[in-house]
Structure 1
């Protein structure tokens, strides 16, 4: 059950990051998606989604590895 919960926790930010990449890619190819009025707004939302999704994913992995003692000494909590 814990593995399923961890999978769901990792799935949501992964989808956010993937959506952010898609928005940025569509902006580079000049395709405007309907909820966005301008291409630059679409690109900014894409960057925000990517950074939030990737940051949550990285933070989750760092927290898990700290708990299991698998990080380098410089990443240990003081």
Structure 2
């Protein structure tokens, strides 16, 4: 059950990042989606969603590797 919860923790931000990529792609092809008033707002929202999803996944992996002692010495805390 614990692995399933961890998988869901990683799938939800991946879907958010994928939706951000879709919004940015639609902006490049000048397709305006409904909740956005113009293309620049749509692109900025997509970029923010992409960065948020990617940042969460990266932070999750970094935290897990740090807990298991698999990170480079420059990222370890100094005492």
Which category of TM-score, normalised to the shorter sequence, fits these structures?
Answer: over 0.9
Any runs of at least 4 consecutive aligned residues in structure 1 with deviations exceeding 4 A, and if so which? none
Deviations 1:15-34 (A, max 9, x none): 11000000000000100011
Deviations 1:6-65 (A, max 9, x none): 000001110110000000000001000111110001000000000000000000000000
TM-score w.r.t. the length of structure 2 is 0.95
Counterpart position of 1:32: 32
Aligned length: 78
SS in 1 for 2:31: coil
Counterpart position of 2:44: 44
Aligned mates of 2:22, 2:77 — CA distance in 1: 35
Q: Which runs of 5 or more structure 2 residues have no equivalent in the other structure?
A: none
- Root-mean-square deviation over aligned CA pairs: 0.7
Q: Which runs of 5 or more structure 1 residues have no equivalent in the other structure?
A: none
